[in-house]
Structure 1
Amino acid sequence: MVLIRSACVQGDGIGFSTGVRIAFFFGLLFVCLPSSAPNAADVDQPFMIAENGKPQCVIVVAGQPSAAEQTAAIELQSILKQVTGAELPIQTCTEVEQDAKQIVVGPSERFTDLLPNTQLDEVGDDGIVIHGNGNALVLAGPRPRGTLYAVYSFLEDQVGCRWWTPTEDEIPHRPTLSIPPLSITYSPKLKSREAYYRDAFEAKFSARQKLNGHSARTGPSLGGNIRFTDFVHTFFPFLPPKVYFDQHPEWYSLIDGKRVHEKAQLCLTNDEMQAEMTRVVLERLAKNPGAKLISISQNDCRGPCQCENCQAVVDEEGSQAGPLLRFVNAISAVVEKEFPDVWVETLAYQYTRAAPLKVRPRSNVVVRLCSIECSFVETLGEGEQNEPFRKDIEAWSKITPQLFVWDYVTNFSNYLVPHPNLRVLAPNVRFFVDHSVVGLFEQGDSQSGIGDFVRLRAWLLAHLMWNPDQDEEALIDEFLRGYYGPAAPHLRDYLNLINDAGERDGIYLRCFMTDTSAWLTLDDLNRATELFAKAESAVSGDAALAARVRRERLPLDHVWLSRYKSLKRSALIGNTPFAGPDDLQAACEDFIRVCRREGVGNWRERHPFDERANLLIRKSGPPAALPPQAAGVPPADWIDYQDGEFSIARAGEWAEFVEDTAASDGHAVRMPGNHFEWAASLPLSDDIASLNPWHVYVAARCEATTQEGNAMTMGIYDSAEKKSVAHQSVLVQQAAGAEYRLYDLGTHTLSGSMYIWVAPPKRPGKVQSVYVDRVFMIRSPQ
């Protein structure tokens, strides 16, 4: 073992599965017999790796293997030792005895002897060659990652190894291990594969799942990755307005007759700006050798330039993608001369999603189409709600040599609730491949560790991106059995229940959904709770499995906590069971404790969990005293919405949650008086519609230095109909002081498309603050 005798690869523990999954490869299959076999009669015999824990072969590598090929040999040796108990020697081609049984790892003289007609550079990016008979076993692929992927594919598909997460795996115990004759060549259809989850960032786990995208932290020893030097939304990072705008306002968007840089883009027909962008791009690439891609892409907002030249290109091309692609093409032509192996990426995103009529991407340009507007409860290929996206991908696939997709597979507004999109994941991956997509970025719960079965999703998507033709139902069942043990059938029933509920109501499931009331009913939640009780009972004797099941119940718990009062009311009115927690405060404390134990991270995109925890604590506290209007009213006929159920805009600037001893529950929403935005709003849920009409009151007050003029405005707005349902102005003399007062917004027929809002008066120096304590609603007689 000359080069790799004692090498060590960074990463967490090795792991495997107790079962062996049949491998289905949908690439080119071929049969090649060794040209120099020690015994030609052995070509139809199995290859013996170990017998009764004793090694029956050696591992052979080239005299100078790459770093990833060294890792492949070490991983193979280490994992096979755990499987069989036998430690296979690692030797170079010059050391090994020619008549020894050999596992040939990577390209070498021995590989050429055994498979003279196989050229690894023709196998395709990240492709693998697995060829074995009684004489030898070959595990190889093109550099940099092919050989490593061949080893991991062999260990998973032939030996039975499974890597569920970076730290939780299983291993079969097989002291005698032989492999039947086989000959497989496979090249993945997706060149770039990225599952944007926490687990998938870990280097060795990424390599074992054959994820090679920008976020995979794989260094040379694990084959590296397809790395960007700068990753999306780069217009202003490359040409920051604070550096350029004062001297070159003409480089930035002309909007409504004025050059601006806030919520804006670049003027893509400005030649001077293009020259400077080209210089910056070349400089960035020179400082980042080894990068495969650089992104030249729009900011994450709208605001395209409306100047005469830009608009003329838009009119000619029929799309805002026209000026963008012409701009990127021009820069990519210069990039190609100095960096011929680099791809220049841009986005087809929001206002640039439609393909242009005339301009075509250059051969070194990657267009990344984004699905952010789609409904993810329906497949992209067949769902009626996704027809616009279908038209876009069909158009781009006809003109783009390197088409990538940015797909969205989570709920960015609330990671901690169920998200019924599990059934569309596999059909969507196949849809992308069928439309010539070669790079796929599946943006999942990267900021949270306890979303909706995120470990299953990361593992499933990795396997589907490697081979989209696999049976997703079999994969899901395999993960559930292997990772949750006896709880698997109950968790499978739960997942079916959740996805049935999403499909049943025909919701438009965006990747930004604040609530589940539009599709998850009390009956659904009762049944879901029953299934989790069965799952927990099935693994009650195994602490590790019980902890895994408990963690997966957190999104269901979060629904109960978030909608507790409305669900309790629905059960009371309908005289139906209520499976939610008996003690709301204790359930909230337990939920928060488990979330933190599991490393929750953010509860929604860029919002830390502490923010949500504080709201849940306020919502689960003792009930506030009822106002006089509720005296004698049956509990089913009134609703008390406390401040913890409000949404606030620009937290810390336009509004904030504060302690207030004058408030009915000791907390309130405070808004400074220096703006007039609807910064405190209460979104209503669909379940109140069956109980219409409602008499609506708002409890509020203000602090002011005057007794005259307006203190605040409030009202009800219907976002579906885009109209005001109620509006009221409150004077300072009606609201000033430490005491909250109820303001009557009238009786209305309400729905889940409406929200109640309160806004300050924009009277700095006159009105210092506006406080909102609660919204109280009483059901009115029909």
Structure 2
Amino acid sequence: MNGFKLAPQSVFTFQFIFVIFMTALLPVQPLFAQKKSSKQKANTVQSTILLAENEKSLYRVVIPAAATVHELKAAKVLQEYVLQISGAVLPIIESTKDTSRYEIVLGQNERLDELGLNINFNELKEDGFLIKTDSLRLIIAGGTEKGTLYGVYTFLENYLGCRMYTSQVKRIPQQKRIALGKINDLQIPAIRFRDVFYKVAWDAEYTDWHKLDHNEKGDRTDWGMWVHTFNELVPPQIYYLEHPEYYSLVDGKRIPTQLCLTNSKVLELTIQNLRKKVAQNPAATYWSVSQNDNRNYCTCDQCRAIDEREGSPSGSIIHFVNQVAEQFPDKIISTLAYEYGRKAPKHLKPHENVNIMLCSIEVNRDKPIPDDATSEDFRRDVEEWGKIAKDIIVWDYVIQFNHLISPFPNLHVLQPNIAFFSRNGVSAMFEQGNKEVGGEFAELRSYLLSKLLWNPALNVDTLMNDFLQGYYGAAARPIRTYIDEMHAALRKSGANLRIFGSPNDAVTSYLTPALVKRYEQLFDEAEKAVAQNPELLERVRIAHLPLHYAVMEQAKKNFSGENGVFIKTSEGWRIRPDIRSRIDPFTDLCIRQGVTLIKEWSTTPEEYRSAMYRLFSQGMNEHLAYHKKVQFISPDPGKLPREATAMLTDGVRGSHDYAFNWLTFAGQNLEIIIDLEEAKPVKRIESAYHQYAFWLTILPKKVEYFVSMDGKNFEQVADIANTLPIDQYGGQQRDFIADFEPRPVRYIKIKAYTLGNTPEWHPGAGRPAVMRVDEIVVE
């Protein structure tokens, strides 16, 4: 990406200069046009339409006699914005009124026939549009749904210089004179269904301006059910106990993780229950009949036979979904090509009314899909599904799930990835960002994705520079430099960028200590550039949040030393001031902005602050067991990481992120012995555990502590039961603490008892619980 080279200036100065610039260079040329008439002349300089001058206009807006809701809205939007731009009022009349030379003709209008203008509305379909000048008239005519409304917003943006960066940040240039040159701008979206799943994009006008397919709640009104629906269609809580055969056979046992797709009764129940849901929402076209969010699919003889024949578990899925689709010929039945079912079947083809939702969850984000050697399998799957499916929607991912606010330099892959999908027959895309408020450059990402889903051929640099200048004002240049340098560092490192990564994975690539210092300098520069503008300063500080977060996460991983949480002084271990000074401003700004979660499904800003303060209070503790040898009785030490014997007594505490500083194993009890090397007076033992129940990490049922002098004869000093439920799916930590009368002790034994397999009602039904344990503290 090229550097952004505008001199620092206030956003107000920029807007004033922009107005002068736009007025001087009229007529305004379109930012892009997917198709243009061969008669269109480039760089037209002669004005043909004087739309408004000195707060007056000869023009009126003509709507069809039976205008649709969207055509009526298009007329009112055009009227409102022209008034704001020029002060001129454009009357709105129906096409039944007398004809005038000075008309803006909107929609599928009778006036078009009167004028002898032949527009191919079949070509425009639902959302396409034509913006065209004809003599002194301006025509904005669109497809059967929101095409005309989209045409009006494009006219405002590309020809009148308006922008909508977010629902709260618009640019509406003031012009005494609006003059237009010849226009012949035909646009048909490359992607038919376009959804950007960022909360910042859920505003109703933002949605229409940027041509997205969701409502103000982020819902897709044309969809009756939306992914992972097997449990909803055949609920385990109703059927599993009496009919375990309805569910997956895994390792010889029926568990309610997925459906048995060759069981005729399952098919009957699915169709029956789906009919009820369709009856409750008959207007919806798309209905998802799709796998649950786990990998335990059925391996019974019948399901396995189909999957082996088709070369993929998608075989039994398509076999089942086709049968459901036959019963709903006027609906589209959607199913997932996701994880184990991503590969297309060899012989089966989805029925005409079956939609394939293909998910890109596994691919890297450091390189575009077409150029990434590790994405070869995914490219093949896209191509293979494209050969057999008539209707494909891609579920793409553009954020780091485990760390929603973390730096994630993937902006360079957005355009080539969307273009790749478009070339391979993908007609619908769902770009999953952050369903919560916030996320790194959420506003910028939403803006870019919306534009690119409409036209993947757009110049991303131009779009980005325009957004940054409009949204950050004089801080645009250092922020653009920050983006460019971080992306360049990732590319230079050759490291992978994955949606389930963390800032700690980037410590040798785009978040090295030296680079972090450089980024901090750029944000200092950005804040100084807008220091006199509180609104812009707040936006810059919000953009800075991900870097603060990365520094704190890396400090927790390092734990001690120059880049850790704690630093050793002549007075002992102390909290590093740089870390202590970040947590409160970080949390407070998250709360002001409306951020609800730091991680997907868990960790509010206040919970994050609490976790940090917990860490501060525990400190760097060189306790009696510090760096002492740990002997594992259970689980088998040969199946644990090499550092397991040291990590439980290394003084480094785990925190809210389960990905580091926690020893993890599944389906077994913990039993360890620690040798203090000599007898010492002991009065307190504690051990910490992590719960993230939705993803099978569950606290032990109970923890027992024992002490001994000889390592053979142990006395129990505590038996602590867990009282936290496993149906609260956020991240939680618990310290199991035992205080007792001091006594001489050399050996400590700890037993933590696993829950075993999860119960039937749990999302991970029947699977072994995972235990995560951290520091053992002896005092």
For 1:510, the equivalent position in structure 2 comes to 498
Deviations 1:60-95 (A, max 9, x none): 111221111111111110011111111111111123
Aligned residue type for 1:641: V
What are the equivalent positions in structure 2 for 1:155-170 lying under 5 Å apart? Answer: 155-170=156-171
For 1:384, the equivalent position in structure 2 comes to 373
In structure 2, how many angstroms separate the alpha carbons of the residues matched to 1:24 and 1:663?
Answer: 74
Q: How far did 1:111 drift?
A: 2.7
Aligned residue type for 1:332: A
Contact 2:224–2:286 under 8 Å retained in 1: yes
CA change 1:133–1:741 in 2 (3 A) is farther
Contact 2:364–2:375 under 8 Å retained in 1: yes
What are the equivalent positions in structure 2 for 1:25-174 lying under 5 Å apart? Answer: 25-30=32-37, 46-95=48-97, 97-114=98-115, 116-174=117-175
In structure 1, how many angstroms separate the alpha carbons of the residues matched to 2:744 and 2:476?
Answer: 53
For 1:321, the equivalent position in structure 2 comes to 314
Deviations 1:542-585 (A, max 9, x none): 1111110011101111122222363973569xx9xxxx984432
Aligned residue type for 2:533: D
What are the equivalent positions in structure 2 for 1:179-328 lying under 5 Å apart? Answer: 179-213=180-214, 217=217, 227-261=222-256, 264-328=257-321
Report the aligned-residue RMSD: 4.0
In structure 2, how many angstroms separate the alpha carbons of the residues matched to 1:153 and 1:773?
Answer: 58
Deviations 1:250-289 (A, max 9, x none): 222222233221xx21111122321221222233222212
In structure 2, how many angstroms separate the alpha carbons of the residues matched to 1:64 and 1:202?
Answer: 28
For 1:533, the equivalent position in structure 2 comes to 524
TM-score, length of structure 1 as denominator length: 0.77
Q: Describe the SS at the equivalent of 1:275.
A: helix
2:612 to 600, 609, 616: 616
Q: How far did 1:624 drift?
A: 4.7
Q: Does 1:522 align with 2:513?
A: yes
What are the equivalent positions in structure 2 for 1:511-660 lying under 5 Å apart? Answer: 511-516=499-504, 517-519=507-509, 520-564=511-555, 566=558, 569-570=561-562, 582-609=577-604, 610-620=606-616, 623-624=619-620, 626-627=622-623, 640-644=651-655, 647=658
1:433 to 422, 438, 454: 422
Q: How far did 1:619 drift?
A: 3.5
Aligned residue type for 2:544: R
Deviations 1:397-452 (A, max 9, x none): 111111110011101101121012111111111111011100101100122x2321
2:481 to 493, 509, 520: 493
TM-score, length of structure 2 as denominator length: 0.77
Range 483-492 or range 583-592, more displaced: 583-592
CA change 1:584–1:136 in 2 (3 A) is same
Q: How far did 1:99 drift?
A: 2.4
What are the equivalent positions in structure 2 for 1:444-455 lying under 5 Å apart? Answer: 444-447=433-436, 449-455=437-443
Deviations 1:600-641 (A, max 9, x none): 11101111312222112333559555448999xxxxxx9842
Aligned residue type for 2:325: S
In structure 2, how many angstroms separate the alpha carbons of the residues matched to 1:143 and 1:663?
Answer: 78
For 2:350, the equivalent position in structure 1 comes to 361
For 1:696, the equivalent position in structure 2 comes to none
Which structure 1 segments of 5+ residues have no match? 1-14, 34-41, 219-223, 632-637, 656-661, 682-699, 713-731, 746-757, 777-782
For 1:729, the equivalent position in structure 2 comes to none
Residue-pair matches, total: 661
In structure 2, how many angstroms separate the alpha carbons of the residues matched to 1:515 and 1:166?
Answer: 30
In structure 2, how many angstroms separate the alpha carbons of the residues matched to 1:386 and 1:472?
Answer: 23
Contact 1:141–1:147 under 8 Å retained in 2: yes
Aligned residue type for 1:306: T
In structure 1, how many angstroms separate the alpha carbons of the residues matched to 2:450 and 2:68?
Answer: 25
Q: Describe the SS at the equivalent of 1:563.
A: helix
CA change 1:678–1:487 in 2 (3 A) is closer
Q: Describe the SS at the equivalent of 1:515.
A: coil
- Shift >6 Å, 4+ stretches: 628-631, 662-668, 677-681, 709-712, 738-745
| Greater length-normalized contact order (CA 8 Å, ≥ 6 residues apart) | 2
Q: Describe the SS at the equivalent of 2:259.
A: coil
Contact 2:623–2:777 under 8 Å retained in 1: no
Q: Does 1:23 align with 2:23?
A: no
In structure 1, how many angstroms separate the alpha carbons of the residues matched to 2:48 and 2:280?
Answer: 51
Aligned residue type for 2:523: F
Q: Does 1:343 align with 2:306?
A: no
Q: How far did 1:204 drift?
A: 1.6
For 2:413, the equivalent position in structure 1 comes to 424
CA change 1:508–1:211 in 2 (3 A) is same
Q: How far did 1:109 drift?
A: 0.9
Contact 1:199–1:458 under 8 Å retained in 2: yes
In structure 1, how many angstroms separate the alpha carbons of the residues matched to 2:527 and 2:684?
Answer: 35
Q: Describe the SS at the equivalent of 2:396.
A: strand
In structure 2, how many angstroms separate the alpha carbons of the residues matched to 1:210 and 1:663?
Answer: 67
Q: How far did 1:241 drift?
A: 1.6
Contact 2:334–2:357 under 8 Å retained in 1: yes
Which structure 2 segments of 5+ residues have no match? 1-14, 23-27, 568-574, 628-648, 670-680, 708-712, 720-735, 757-770
In structure 2, how many angstroms separate the alpha carbons of the residues matched to 1:496 and 1:581?
Answer: 30
For 1:401, the equivalent position in structure 2 comes to 390
